[in-house]
Structure formats: structure tokens, C-alpha cells
Amino acid sequence: MTIRLYDLAGANPALRFSPYCFRTKLALLHKGLDFETVPWRFTDKSRIAETGQERVPVIVDGKRWVNDSWSIALYLDETYPARPKLFPDAQSRNYARFLNSWCDWSVNPAIRPLAVRHVFDAIDEKDKAYFRESREKQLGMKIEAIGADQVAAAAGFASALKPAEIMLADHRFLHGAEPGYGDYALFGSLLWPFAVCPKDPIDYVSNVGKWFERMMGRFDSWAARQPTVRSLA
Amino acid sequence: MTIRLYDLAGANPALRFSPYCFRTKLALLHKGLDFETVPWRFTDKSRIAETGQERVPVIVDGKRWVNDSWSIALYLDETYPARPKLFPDAQSRNYARFLNSWCDWSVNPAIRPLAVRHVFDAIDEKDKAYFRESREKQLGMKIEAIGADQVAAAAGFASALKPAEIMLADHRFLHGAEPGYGDYALFGSLLWPFAVCPKDPIDYVSNVGKWFERMMGRFDSWAARQPTVRSLA
């Protein structure tokens, strides 16, 4: 049975850029589970009302609806224990949980100055009023002012990534020899500006950039095949 | 055989505040190894010349000198494999390594605005010129200007701790049911402002604050018995 994923999309439905939805897609790829994505817009709240909340990712597995990327990852490991594990043991789950939290609270805030204005440009007209109001409230400034200083934004981005930059100097992946869910969390975060920025934001000379390229090659180069504003232009 | 640790000290040799030396002391306690600390000042570089570098922690184990807190932790696990392991498996070592790096590059920079001026006040007269010059170069401002805005400093400190704050909402320790080396890294970071700030900087209402209290109770309340500028006043 194919799992259905409600996946945040731009005005062009082929453009997908949510870091949280990327986590779920990478988790599904890791598990080797069939899935199809349904393009979903910020204002399509009624389509996921079954979950009692208003955000994606949301998966539908048979009759079961599950929301929240972390809850979905736990659900997939519990429901499909014979498939490759996202969390082989308690330490790797705790490590992944911390990396997930670090992405949410340290990395993603540093990406917003790079990405938010381009997300605004890329989303459907019907989403723009909602997006403007929610992001301007969250960040305390106008969309047009977010990331106005792109030199500072790039420095903040590099600074936020520093713990991973050091780690990846002598580890192929954050989880070691093979990627784990924490790698998917960070990769999902970076795929967000990678998808929406007119100029590729990845520094390929850095350790994180080299790791990003390794991640791009996983699952038969799945991520490398995903559309970006550059490939769609 | 008792291991000797060169441990950064203030003008009052009982005052110890280095986050990196705390990591090593907590690692030695975890291993259950006997150790004695030797108070060391920033300018006592010749006393650790054997290591070919100028910073503590440095341990002397018989004839073996080892420097750098991470290298010391690896050395202790390799040399005393029958003692409780700091790194029971590859995932816990990778997790600890990431937490260590996160403390170095995200947490410690956010603590400097709270702690640096008080370190300056607490250190020996012979260390002050070195400390002023190195820290003013590192931070690009006068010691007296660092942390001048204490409201912003406190906000930056809480923001840097957010990934741990979320993690500790449903985990007793960062490593799970029991503390691991990553817990010692963060605890060492927090013991630094805890030792030198005239006002206790820990928010005991937060999840991190409650975890800090659990850490204070470990090893027969070892950390709670360490002097601070407040207990020495």
C-alpha cells in the first residue's frame, strides 16, 4: 500500500521546499516504503483537518493519519520494524532527537534570513497573505526586510552550522559511517534554501558542503532530482 | 596511581571555572579514577610545555602527558576499559562528539557575554594582561564592553540552550536515562558562569535548570561542593 504524504508546494506544484516534509520523505526513502506526495498549500488546512492541526508533513497510511515529522518517523519504525531502522537503538534515537531539535532551534532560524523572502516569491497567490502575516509576526519585521543584509545572513548561517562543520571534519555523516535520522534533519533544513534561493546557498568547499553532496547522492540521487527554483526557471 | 590534572584557577586557587577542565574532571569521576588537581594559571605555560601546547586541561598519568579534553576522554576509555565507559558504543561517541562541538561553537560563545568580565575580575594579577589581550582580540571589543547589555546576553544564553531545553522536556539527561559525556560537556559549560558570576545564572524553572540540578547531585554532589565566587565571598 502506497503511503500518501501531504507535501508543502509552491505556486509551481513541482517546487517543494519544506524542511519538515523533506525529513519525512527521507525517512520514507530510508525505510524503502512506497509513497506518493500530494502538493499542499499553506491555506489548504481543511485537507488535513483529520489530524486536528494545520501543518504538514501529514501522512496517510491506509486509514491511519499521522502528523509531525518526528512522530511520523517513530510511527514508521514501529509499524515497519522489518524495514531498515531509523532508530536502531536508544543512543541513536537520542542523538537524532537532539539533532532534530538543534535544526529546529539553531539552524532553521539562521536559514530564515536567506530563504523567507524567496519562499514568499515562490508560493501560490492564495498563500501570500497568510504567509506574510504569520512570518512578519514570527520574525518581527516585514518580509522585505528579512535578510536585507545578506552578508550578515550568510555569516549567521555558517556560524549556526559550525558544530556540524567540526563534526564532519572526521566523520562521513553526523551519525558516523552511514547517515541516520539526524543527517536527514539537517539535510532537510539545507534543502529548503537550496530549493528556493536563486543562487545555490551551499558552500561546497566546507565539510558541510561535501557532506551535502554525499547526501545528494543517496537513494539513487533522489535529492539531486528534486526541482528547485533554478532548475524550474 | 593518582592522575594529576592541571586545572585553570583564579587568584584564589580554590576557584576553578574552565569549562574544558570541568569536562575532564567529570570524565575522571565517571571512570571512578583517583585524581588530584594542580591549580594552574593562564601564564603558567612552561609547566605544561611537555605537551607541546599552552592550554589546559592537561593530565599526567604516570609518565604519560595528555592534553585536550576530547583526547583525554578517549585516552581514559582506551587505557581503562574495565572502568565505566565514557563511550559505550559508536553512536554514543558520535552523539557526545556532536554535543561537545555544539558546546564549543554555540553554547560557549553565548556564555562569554555573561562570564568573561567576571573571569577577568577573578583571575590572578599575573594573568590579567594576557587575558585582556587574548579575549579582546577574540571578541573584538574591550573586556568592559563584553556583556554590557546583560538583557541581550541572558536572551542569547537562553536561545543557545534551546535545543537542550526541548530535548530535556522528555529526557532525564541528554544521553537518556543516565548522563553521558555530552552531558558532561554541557554541564562543564554551565559550571563556568556558575562559578564566576556574582549572581547564579541558572534558570532553575527551565528544563535545563532542572537537569543542572540533577547533574549537581551526581558523584556524591561533587559539583555542588566546588567553590564559586559566591561561596568564597
- Model pLDDT, residue B121: 97
| Residue A60 φ then ψ, to 5° | -125, 115
All residues of chain A having their beta carbon less than 8 Å from the beta carbon of residue B163 are 98, 101-102, 104-106
Contacts of B85 (CB under 8 A, 6+ apart): B77
The C-alpha cell 533554478 sits at A230
CA distance A10 to B88: 45
Mean pLDDT for chain B overall: 97
What's the distance, Cα to Cα, between the start and end of chain A in Å? 35
| Position B38, amino acid | V
The model carries a pTM of 0.97
Size of interface A-B (CB pairs under 8 A): 80
The C-alpha cell 558516523 sits at A176
The residue among A95, A104, A112 with the most chain B CBs within 10 A of its CB, best to mutate, is A95
Q: Where are the alpha helices (DSSP H) in chain A?
A: 19-31, 69-79, 90-102, 108-122, 125-139, 150-160, 162-167, 181-196, 207-216, 218-221, 229-232
Give ipTM to 2 decimals: 0.96
- Model pLDDT, residue A1: 83
Coil, helix or strand at residue A35: strand
The secondary structure of residue B175, as a DSSP letter, is T
- Model pLDDT, residue B114: 97
| pLDDT tens digits, B141-178 | 999 999 999 999 999 999 999 999 999 999 999 999 99
Minimum-distance CB partner of B176 among A94, A106, A162: A94
CA distance B193 to B189: 8
From the list A35, A26, A30, the residue with the least C-alpha distance to A3 is A35
- Model pLDDT, residue A43: 95
Asked if residue B31 lies in contact with residue B76, where contact means CB atoms within 8 angstroms, the answer is yes
From the list A197, A41, A186, A43, the residue with the least C-alpha distance to A117 is A197
Count CB-CB contacts under 10 A for residue B225: 10
CB-CB under 8 Å, B166 with A105? yes
The C-alpha cell 525529513 sits at A23
Q: What is the dihedral of CA B187, A156, A21, A207, to 10 degrees?
A: -80
CA-based nearest distance A144→chain B, Å: 25
Q: What is the pLDDT along chain A (233 residues), one digit of tens a residue?
A: 899 999 999 999 999 999 999 999 999 999 999 999 999 999 999 999 999 999 999 999 999 999 999 999 999 999 999 999 999 999 999 999 999 999 999 999 999 999 999 999 999 999 999 999 999 999 999 999 999 999 999 999 999 999 999 999 999 999 999 999 999 999 999 999 999 999 999 999 999 999 999 999 999 999 999 999 999 99
pLDDT < 50 regions, chain B:
none
Cα→Cα distances B88→A101, A176, B75, Å: 23, 15, 14
Minimum-distance CB partner of A163 among B88, B105, B176: B105
CA-based nearest distance B146→chain A, Å: 19
Cα→Cα distances B118→A139, A189, B10, B39, B132, Å: 33, 37, 11, 18, 12
- Model pLDDT, residue B4: 98
Coil, helix or strand at residue B8: strand
- Model pLDDT, residue B1: 83
CB-CB under 8 Å, B175 with A94? yes
Dihedral (CA of A99, A224, A113, A153) sign? positive
Query: ∠ CA(A52), CA(B170), CA(B151), 5° rounding?
Result: 95
The residue among A97, A98, A175, A183 with the most chain B CBs within 10 A of its CB, best to mutate, is A98
CA-based nearest distance B48→chain A, Å: 26
From the list A226, A206, A198, A227, the residue with the least C-alpha distance to A115 is A198
The residue among A71, A102, A175, A206 with the most chain B CBs within 10 A of its CB, best to mutate, is A102
